[in-house]
Structure 1
Amino acid sequence: MSTTYMVPLSLMTPDMNLADLKAPAGTVDHVDMMYNAGHPGVAEPHVHIVLWNIPDGQLPPAALKALPDVAQILKAGSLP
């Protein structure tokens, strides 16, 4: 189980505080952040912030792939 936030890059700043995101699915075990160039529903480039409620060892394989560093994306304004 997880809670996913989709935050447009245009709204993100390097000093943005993400510590207070609500986790309606329960206690957060760990967090992933990944870039998305846009899709139906959120067309502009954005970051998916996934608050996972299950341990890493129980994640599906697709959730374990290498992800770009969000701080680098924000600094560069695009994928490295």
Structure 2
Amino acid sequence: MLRKFIFGAGFFVAATTIANAHDEKALMKAPAGDPYVKVSDVLPLPEFIPGLGTLFVDPATLPAGPFLAYDRDGQLSASVYMTPLEDLQNGVSFDSLGIGSHSVSSTDIYYNAGHPGVEKPHAHVVLFHDEGAKERLAE
């Protein structure tokens, strides 16, 4: 009985710590807030990138991200990861990556030859957070 109580208490503490470490509700509307920066403010990229939206990233998580992608109304629509192919080929793992929202309706993965901020060829992994997200980011 005591072992079950200790296990249950330990699980509760761990779950509470994880939940507090990621305030999903705070990320649902742009701007994302600290430690995230608006990508277009620090790199020569447009404020809204068709297909990806307005991006925010924590610089400490580069190059992989997540990049938080907001539609034109400032709604979180996707979490985007940019993983350099060379790193993947050399056995680099990108573990425990954050996510903007725990709700995911679909995922796209595609090649990108490089751009400001992630110059090396890389894969874009895009987790869309609701059914209409892809369409809103395309506009």
TM class by shorter chain equals: 0.5 to 0.7
Match for residue 45 of structure 1 among 106, 109, 121:
121
Q: How many residues align?
A: 60
Return the offset for 1:61. 8.0
Normalised by the length of structure 1, the TM-score is: 0.58
Matched to 1:38, the amino acid is G
Per the alignment, do residues 2 and 62 of structure 1 end up closer, same or farther by CA in structure 2, a change over 3 Å counting?
Answer: closer
Runs of 5+ consecutive residues of structure 2 not aligned to the other structure: 1-76
Q: Which has the larger Rg?
A: 2
Q: Which of 20, 27, 47 is matched with 2:103 structurally? A: 27
The 1:22/1:28 distance shift into structure 2, 3 A limit, reads farther
Identity %: 36
Higher relative contact order (CA 8 A, sep 6+): 1
Runs of 4+ aligned residues of structure 1 deviating over 3 Å after TM superposition are none
**Counterpart-to-counterpart distance in 1, 2:93 and 2:86:** 15
Shift in Å, 1:12: 2.0
**Aligned Cα root-mean-square deviation (Å):** 3.0
More helix per residue: 2
* Structure 1: unaligned runs, 5 residues or longer: 64-80
In 2, Cα distance between equivalents of 1:2 and 1:17: 22
